[in-house]
Amino acid sequence: MGIKFKGFEYVESINQLAARYGIQVLYVDNMVDDPFARPSEKNGRFSLWVVYQAADFITYPSLYEGFGNAFLEAIYFNKPMLVNRYKIFVDDIEPKGFELVKMDGVLTGEVVKKIRKIVHDKERQQTMVDKNYRVALKHYSYSSLRKQLLQIMPNLIQPNCLPNTDRPRSALGS
């Protein structure tokens, strides 16, 4: 039976699950720089860039989330990933076809088995991350954004709108 995660019980739940399955968990938040810190405040801590590169697998167990930049960061760094199927994921991200380990609010033994299989199968990992990168390029790259903006921009401009130079002088600041 899985454990549901709520509020501040999350860390303890992770520790219990990790102990049950013999998984070593390292909490490195105090060793990672704030990306907006001044150079004098960095004190030799690791960048988020380095942390992603060192990870074998990324977990994204959010119950409530916006789109989530961390999701795209994990894909950019070619990492396999566990994602909880929160509403925005289900509505906006999942239909794109990413290959992920998914859970529905509960981390089960079956989900853990899937993760272990992926972590130990480097060929399978590579297939997953390659596919995810291609899907992200198709839907979330600058090129994709440019195409989407070009499609919607003509619909935002009314044909009878006056250009800026035709505004009254008071609107132009003269």
Q: Are 3 and 106 in contact (CB under 8 A)?
A: yes
Domain hosting residue 158, numbered range? 3-172
pLDDT (average), residues 142-166 = 70
Greatest Cα-to-Cα distance within the chain, rounded to the nearest angstrom: 73
pLDDT in tens, 94-149: 999 999 999 998 889 999 999 999 999 999 999 999 999 999 999 988 888 888 88
Q: Please, what is the Cα angle at 75 between 71 and 76, to 5 degrees?
A: 115
Distances (CA, A) of 107 to 2, 128, 130, 140: 5, 21, 25, 28
The 8-class DSSP code of residue 36 comes to T
Cα–Cα dist 37/35, whole Å? 6
Q: What are phi and psi of 83, to 5 degrees?
A: -130, 130
Dig out the tokens for 27 from the structure: 């909490």
3-state secondary structure labels for all residues of 125-146: HHHHHHHHHHHHHHHHCHHHHH
The residue among 81, 87, 92 whose CA lies nearest residue 65 is: 87
Please tell me the pTM assigned to this model.
0.70
pLDDT tens column, 76-89: 999 999 999 988 89
pLDDT for res 100: 97
The number of folded domains in the chain is 1
For residue 106, the model assigns a pLDDT of 87
More confident residue, 61 or 165: 61
Q: What are the tens digits of pLDDT across the range 22-35? A: 988 888 778 888 77
The CATH number of the domain where 139 resides is what?
3.40.50
pLDDT of residue 124: 95
- The angle at the Cα of 68, spanning 33 to 82, to the nearest 5 degrees, equals 90
